[in-house]
Amino acid sequence: MFRFPQRGYCFCIGDVIIMVRVELKEATKYYGERRGVEDINLSINDGEYLAVLGPTGSGKTTTMYLIAGLLSPSKGSILFDDEDISNVPAEDRSVGFVFEEYNLFPRMTVESNILFGPTVKDLNLIESRKISRELLALLNISGKEPNYPDEISGGQKQRVALARAIVSDARILVMDDPLRALDAKIREILQVELRKLVKDLGITCIHATHDTQEAMRVADRIAVFKDGMIVQIGTPEEVYNHPNSLYVAEFLGEGSTIEGKIDDIKEEKYLVLQDGSRINVETDLQKDEEAIALIPGELIDVYPISMKKKLNYHNIFEAVLLDVRCVGEFNELDLEIFGSRFKAKDLIGKEIPLKKKSKVLVATDKDDYRIFPKKEGKMINKKKSDRIINSNTQVGIDGSSVKKVKKK
Amino acid sequence: MVSEQRDIEVKMRRNLLKAENWLSKKNVLTAGKVITIVIFVLIVLGPILYLLLQILINSKEINSTVFNDPILGNEAFLMMLRSIGLSLKIAAIVTVFDILVGVPIAWILARYEFRGKNILDTLVDMPIAVPTSALGFSIYLFWGTNNGISRLFNSQVGLVSQGTFLIILAHIAFTFPYVTRSIRGIISDLDLNLEKAGKTLGASPFTIARMISLPMVKEGLLAGTVLAFTRSLGETGATLIVSGVYQTAPVVIVSWMKGLKIPTTAFLAFILILISLVLLTTVRLFARKVGLPWKKVFPRFERKLSSKKVKRSRDGVSLFLFFMFVFIPALFVIIYLFQWWGRSPFSGDPQAGMIYQVFQAPDRKFTEIFRALGTSIEIALIVTLINMVIATPMALMISKMKNKKVKGILDLLIDIPLVIPSSALGFSIFFLWGSNGMHILSPGFFMIVIAHVSFTYSYCVRPLIGSFDAIPTMYDEAATAFGASKFTAFRKVTLPFLKSGLIAAAIMTFTRSMSETGATIITMGVERTIPVLLVDFFEASTFPAAAFASTILIIISFAMLLLLRRITRRAKNE
Amino acid sequence: MSEIRFQHVTKIFGKSVEAVKDLSFIINDGEYISLIGPSGCGKTTTLRLLAGTILPTEGEILFDDQPMQNVRIQDRNIGFVFQHFAIFPHMTVSENIAYGPTVRGRSKREIEPLVEKALKSVQMSNKANLYPDSLSAPDWQKTALARVLASEARILLLDEPLGALDQKIREEFQLFLRDLVKREKLTAIHVTHDQAEALTISDRVAVLNKGRLIQLGTPSDLIYNPNHLFASFFVGESDFLEGVIIDDSAENAEVRIGQSLIKVNNMGVEKGKRVAVAVRREFFQVEPITTKGLTNSLPGEVIEDKFLGLLRRIRIKLENQQIIEAKIHAKHPVQFKENEKVIINIDPSVTRCFDFPKEGIVSALEM
């Protein structure tokens, strides 16, 4: 348990006392003509862990900078606990900021780095040193205090940066893609550590990332960004299972897309493909509307052809298994269905005797498909539409779309 | 026919590759390295070592001339002490000014975006390219005569007479860029994100500058300070003009040399070289270790210092001082030239005007000027050529060297010509090659060339090391991995990367050679280069002619500087 | 033929920094090998030893039984592909590709077909005369690959070749790269920090840590039969249960973990020894406390059930206070609540049993 002397509150592990509600109201930032973010309405509750998810250039960093005060909004306001702090300079906001490139001060030891905040704020250094020790122990890097940043590894650097941000009397923690520069394995480990630390401290935390898995692993809620605007906010489950647009669906679940027309027979909806195949789906779209369906790879179940009678699914198709690869926690299967290439993912451990180039059964339920009107799909993805839509329909390495391959 | 030609081509290409393969052999490369170092030692270090050696060997003669002269006693030694004392005092004052004004200006140039920034940037660098004798003359005209600043006060005499104060003013002008230049680049390369990090941790801008940015600029600042200090300590050209009866150490060397008092000159040169070397090594060795004082932070006070008002007034004052003490005096000679173009602005006498004095008077000064200009250019070209040949392998060697200790030592040795007074360097070259030493050369064209090669050497090697370092090592690996010998890889891959770096180094060398005074005076014999001619004109009080020569020099250097900037900027953009 | 053999290779930098230590293995002709490990594990050093930019302090590297100690880089018949491409910016694509044969003194007549063939196999024929600055990152890497093909190297060294590419393109490029290497019958050694990439692309994967070779095996070997604590930690995600061997006589050994006994794969660990039982997080079977018929299980308490899309991650505290994570399929019918008591069932055949490291698990796995 440690105590922040200046404010008179304590962070008690597992027993939360102080937290800050952060609110952005119509926050807008333009860089000259270029849009950074527009009309961001976002409210982050006390002690909540929010992930801001989006590709490079979608306004994540701008949002983080607005909250920290490194940028001031062109329009709109930012509130901490209902107090408008839009015009408070960064040095007075007490926002603990963790950068992508660590930004440790190279000429200072780990300890001086961590104590930089308390030093310039004239806090009680003895207390702060105690807190820093406890934090370093929590983060498994005790004993590195006398080292210089270039003597420790990337993962350790980011842990030090995290400790530095917290020790400087931070009211909230803002992290801008903090794990991007790290190796895959360290990233995996730190994701778990981060969430654990933030939850133990009970601090309000905003974490920007471009990595869907990372967002899912760390956050209570996810805000999906696109071109400087928020497309959807919700818990990982909500955004994943009920994406409100093709963009979100594609960003959250790597999958394959198919196009077709909606048909309905006896209350059941079907997607009719060009070659006449019918897929049972669930959608609000009406008959004859053009639609795009996306199915995440992990929702496609694959079985040997002999099991046909035993399966209980809404849709069962025959397919050709092109390739199986074991890539760690799951197997990746390349399938050819309706003349297009599909990628399926399957958790390892389940033994399926499947052979390459053999016929298999592909089984899906009707609620596995995320259906979007074709027009809207195009509209939502106005700018980068083609690239984004195609990126999941297997753009060949030479730029030609594999999808165009005709059935033999 | 065609196929025959092609066969010859293929053969030639194969022979070239074979030759390069031979040159890339380990022992051939080693031999090349040895030769490079021998040349360096012979041309650059040799004279200095020889001088040091001679002083030690002939201590008796030194003793009898410097300390126990039968007539003068130790008068020569006392004079030495006086002049060195004066030089040190001036250098110290000048350096303090350079830092106080130079650091804020470097910050402005690195961080602010404003219209005319490029122009200001070039102006700040200009005193480095302009010959110090022209600079000194211009400053003398501005401060020391009734043509310059005193016109504002309707005074009939100059505001500052020749002497210590005027020397300081002159030295400020030409040492100023060394400090700004050495930290400007570092400041603009500083990672702004570190400052952002400092901000989010609650530090005010002043605290950030002091605690985060300054430690990273520290080494550059120290290097610049040493350069400014040693340049001031060893400057001759401008000092000859503005010193009057007050003699700084380098000026004493020149005047003793003119009086052929070889032993005393040698001893003074020896002491000056020693001081510079000690300064250089101390700073090199301890730059990293110098801790910064004031770890304690005073948040409220520093926050006040960060306020916009304080910042603005600081910037304003620095800019004013720069223009007042560096820029305007340095270029005043051009205004003077126009004042005296056709006739004297005071008496209206056309015979006192520049046109008459240079082109119409019977002594035909313009032929003299253009002959000297020709000599200068000729020397500068030869020097540049020689230096390109001997400096490139050295730069490559230093850049690729793995042994850090040897690298550090070579790196230090390279800088020696940069810090020792050029008149002392010139003297040691005269001492080694001339009649007192190996007696191979007598003062004249070739001795000037050797002197210039030796003191422009570091101006050539330094930027080249930078260019080599900037080439990512993966290109080296990629170049040799596909079967190319080291030489072939160098020709096909490294050289194209180096193009702009080579040109920049060449221009720098050329400009430095063009503008050198101190070493030239000692090694020139009857030859005249244009900066020296300028001093002659000044001593003969033919100011309009001197102004004409100065203006030509300024224009040439300015053009060179612009060229240099264009090339380096293009290289950076790529 | 290009078989590569490492014999007790050690490389020491400076006085005592052991970058790689006692490395011995064989890479067969035409094999695609990946080297993985945390930064500083020695994978890049191994690659540079192969290239000849550095020489081993001890031991020997043989290409086809020929020692390479005194063979210069340019004579080793290797091709290099770098993370940041190292495409010469002052040459066009085809000039870049022609670089190898040119510096080897081939005539134009010989070079042209080589370049053409190389361009074709990386599908860059239409971009032959462009300069690199007008191309995109994937095209740079393709040019680099073509440059290797044209130099007729038989051994391809790839140093994080996909590290500078975006995730999506990366996945495409992996398959492209493997196809190319197999088609051209090259021997490839690929350094990466991304285990998924290594598993996707290679025939065999070598796991390195702190300069030592931990395990060299096929992807499925590494997943199902890791033979070292570090290998099971680094490839995929595992938890390590601390226990003591009670019985080592049967096919499955019996281990006491906290108060419970479970059966694990008998890997020849002696009775009475402290062990670390490695279980992949995907292999934990988590069921409500009421479930019957589970024979090999541990009791635990749920800390958190976190949804991750493809799967759910359940953090569970065991009786002995150790916290483990189970990855279960997102479609698993039961939603677990905080503090809910559960049973974790473990199939003995998926466990791996290692000696418990003296310095403790955390420091043994420190990277």
Which of A89, A122, A169 minimises the CB distance to B299?
A122
Whether residue B431 is found in the same domain as residue B524:
yes
CB atoms within 10 A of CB A238: 15
Percent of chain A with pLDDT over 90: 31
Which of B481, B484, B497 minimises the CB distance to C51?
B481
Task: Say yes or no to pLDDT of B287 above 80.
Answer: no
Whether residue B227 is found in the same domain as residue B361:
no
Lowest-confidence range among A15-24, B450-459, C206-215? A15-24
Mean pLDDT of A139-167: 90
Task: Say yes or no to pLDDT of C169 above 90.
Answer: no
Mean pLDDT of B291-301: 69
Mean pLDDT of C245-261: 88
**Shortest Cα distance from A300 to chain B (angstroms)?**
44
Q: What is the pLDDT of residue A60?
A: 93
Mean pLDDT of C327-350: 89
Percent of chain A with pLDDT over 70: 86
Tens digit of each residue's pLDDT (9 = 90 or more) over B8-34:
877 888 888 888 888 888 888 889 999
Length of chain C in terms of residues written = 367
Q: Chain B within 8 Å of A178 (Cβ-Cβ)?
A: no
Nearest CA in chain C to B402: C14
Domain final residue pick, B292, B310, B330: B330
Q: What is the pLDDT of residue C58?
A: 92
**Shortest Cα distance from A213 to chain C (angstroms)?**
7
**Domains with residue ranges and CATH for chain C:** 4-229 (3.40.50.300), 238-364 (2.40.50.140)
Q: Would you say B454 and B429 are in contact if contact means Cβ atoms under 8 Å apart?
A: yes
Whether residue B255 is found in the same domain as residue B298:
yes
Length of chain B in terms of residues written = 574
Nearest CA in chain C to A397: C172
Which of A332, A347, A397 minimises the CB distance to C311?
A347
Tens digit of each residue's pLDDT (9 = 90 or more) over A170-215:
889 999 999 988 888 888 889 988 998 888 888 899 999 988 889 9
Residue B33 falls within a domain, yes or no? no
Q: Which residues of C touch A (CB under 8 A)?
A: 38-40, 123, 138, 168, 172-173, 175-176, 193-196, 199-200, 219-220, 223, 234-237, 280-283, 306-311, 313, 325, 327, 329-330, 350, 362, 367
**Residues of chain A contacting B204 with CB distance shorter than 8 Å:** 91, 120
Using CA atoms, how far apart are residues A342 and A327, in angstroms rounded to an integer?
Answer: 17
Using CA atoms, how far apart are residues C61 and C55, in angstroms rounded to an integer?
Answer: 9
Q: Would you say B175 and B101 are in contact if contact means Cβ atoms under 8 Å apart?
A: no
Task: Say yes or no to pLDDT of C123 above 50.
Answer: yes
Lowest-confidence range among A395-399, B8-12, C234-238, C256-260? A395-399
Is A90–B191 a contact, with Cβ atoms under 8 angstroms apart?
A: no
Lowest-confidence range among A86-100, A105-119, B118-132? B118-132
Is A328–C235 a contact, with Cβ atoms under 8 angstroms apart?
A: yes
Residue B47 falls within a domain, yes or no? no
Total domains present in chain B: 2
pLDDT band at B2 (very low <50, low <70, confident <90, very high): low
Q: Backbone phi, then psi, for B231, in 5-degree steps? A: -60, -45
**Shortest Cα distance from C67 to chain A (angstroms)?**
34
Is A105–B194 a contact, with Cβ atoms under 8 angstroms apart?
A: yes
Is A328–C306 a contact, with Cβ atoms under 8 angstroms apart?
A: no
Q: What is the pLDDT of residue B499?
A: 85
Nearest CA in chain B to A170: B201
Using CA atoms, how far apart are residues B240 and A233, in angstroms rounded to an integer?
Answer: 77
Whether residue B314 is found in the same domain as residue B409:
no
User: Which residues form the domain of B509?
Assistant: 340-574
**Residues of chain B contacting C82 with CB distance shorter than 8 Å:** 474, 477-478
Q: Chain B within 8 Å of A94 (Cβ-Cβ)?
A: yes
Is C123–A397 a contact, with Cβ atoms under 8 angstroms apart?
A: yes
Using CA atoms, how far apart are residues A359 and A240, in angstroms rounded to an integer?
Answer: 30
**Residues of chain B contacting A95 with CB distance shorter than 8 Å:** 200
Using CA atoms, how far apart are residues A198 and A205, in angstroms rounded to an integer?
Answer: 7
Q: What is the pLDDT of residue A401?
A: 34
Which of B477, B483, B497 minimises the CB distance to C103?
B483
Task: Say yes or no to pLDDT of B376 above 90.
Answer: yes
Tell me the CA distances in angstroms from C359 to A138, B186, B342, C242, C324, one per residue in order: 19, 45, 92, 13, 20
Q: Which is more confident, B303 or B546?
A: B546
Measured distance between the N- and C-terminal CA atoms of chain C, rounded to whole angstroms: 36
**Residues of chain C contacting B23 with CB distance shorter than 8 Å:** none
Mean pLDDT of chain B: 86
Q: Chain A within 8 Å of B190 (Cβ-Cβ)?
A: no
Residue B70 falls within a domain, yes or no? no
Mean pLDDT of chain C: 89
Whether residue B295 is found in the same domain as residue B324:
yes
**Shortest Cα distance from A303 to chain C (angstroms)?**
17
Which residues, other chains included, contact C137 with Cβ-Cβ below 8 Å and sequence gap of 6+? C85, C164, C165, C169
Whether residue B325 is found in the same domain as residue B348:
no
Residue B52 falls within a domain, yes or no? no
Whether residue B544 is found in the same domain as residue B519:
yes
Whether residue B232 is found in the same domain as residue B207:
yes
Nearest CA in chain A to B205: A91
Whether residue B117 is found in the same domain as residue B237:
yes
Task: Say yes or no to pLDDT of B6 above 60.
Answer: yes
**Shortest Cα distance from A397 to chain C (angstroms)?**
6
Tens digit of each residue's pLDDT (9 = 90 or more) over A18-76:
668 999 999 999 998 889 999 999 999 988 999 999 988 899 999 999 999 999 999 99
Whether residue B112 is found in the same domain as residue B239:
yes
**Residues of chain B contacting C151 with CB distance shorter than 8 Å:** 482-483
pLDDT band at B574 (very low <50, low <70, confident <90, very high): low
Task: Say yes or no to pLDDT of A388 above 80.
Answer: no
Residue B65 falls within a domain, yes or no? no
Is B297–A169 a contact, with Cβ atoms under 8 angstroms apart?
A: no
Q: What is the pLDDT of residue C118?
A: 93
Q: Would you say A49 and A198 are in contact if contact means Cβ atoms under 8 Å apart?
A: yes
Whether residue B207 is found in the same domain as residue B287:
yes
**Domains with residue ranges and CATH for chain A:** 2-241 (3.40.50.300), 246-404 (2.40.50.140)
Length of chain A in terms of residues written = 408
* A34-44 and A172-176 strand pairing: unpaired
Residue B44 falls within a domain, yes or no? no
Tens digit of each residue's pLDDT (9 = 90 or more) over A325-365:
777 777 888 888 887 888 888 776 655 567 778 888 898 88
Containing H/E element for B318? helix B308-322
Tens digit of each residue's pLDDT (9 = 90 or more) over C64-99:
888 988 887 777 888 889 888 889 989 999 999 999
Token readout for B209 is: 């500058």
Q: What is the pLDDT of residue B292?
A: 58
Which of C78, C104, C108 minimises the CB distance to B481?
C78
Task: Say yes or no to pLDDT of B271 above 60.
Answer: yes
Q: What is the pLDDT of residue C240?
A: 93
Q: What is the pLDDT of residue A8?
A: 33
Scanning A201-230 for CB atoms below 8 A from B yields: none
pLDDT band at B519 (very low <50, low <70, confident <90, very high): confident
Which of B14, B475, B492 minimises the CB distance to C105?
B14
Tens digit of each residue's pLDDT (9 = 90 or more) over B394-452:
999 999 888 888 888 888 888 888 888 888 888 888 888 888 777 788 888 999 999 99
Q: Chain B within 8 Å of A164 (Cβ-Cβ)?
A: yes
Which residues, other chains included, contact B132 with Cβ-Cβ below 8 Å and sequence gap of 6+? B170, B174, B235, B236, B237, B238, B515, B517, B531
Q: Chain C within 8 Å of B473 (Cβ-Cβ)?
A: no
Mean pLDDT of B67-87: 82
Using CA atoms, how far apart are residues B254 and B274, in angstroms rounded to an integer?
Answer: 18
Lowest-confidence range among A216-220, A387-391, C104-108, C143-147? A387-391
Nearest CA in chain C to B499: C90
Is A212–C309 a contact, with Cβ atoms under 8 angstroms apart?
A: yes
Is A92–B193 a contact, with Cβ atoms under 8 angstroms apart?
A: no
Tens digit of each residue's pLDDT (9 = 90 or more) over A242-252:
999 989 998 88
Q: What is the DSSP letter of A228?
A: T
Domain final residue pick, B330, B350, B377: B330
Using CA atoms, how far apart are residues B549 and B134, in angstroms rounded to an integer?
Answer: 8
Q: What is the pLDDT of residue B87?
A: 92
Mean pLDDT of chain A: 82
Domain final residue pick, B306, B330, B354: B330
Q: What is the pLDDT of residue C164?
A: 79
Which residues, other chains included, contact A166 with Cβ-Cβ below 8 Å and sequence gap of 6+? A96, A131, A135, A173, A201, A203
Task: Say yes or no to pLDDT of A391 above 70.
Answer: no
Q: Which is more confident, A310 or C116?
A: C116
CATH number at residue B151: 1.10.3720.10
Q: What is the pLDDT of residue A11?
A: 45
Tens digit of each residue's pLDDT (9 = 90 or more) over A111-140:
999 999 988 888 888 888 998 998 898 888
Whether residue B261 is found in the same domain as residue B375:
no
Tell me the CA distances in angstroms from B492 to B20, B390, B498, C99, one per residue in order: 12, 20, 11, 9
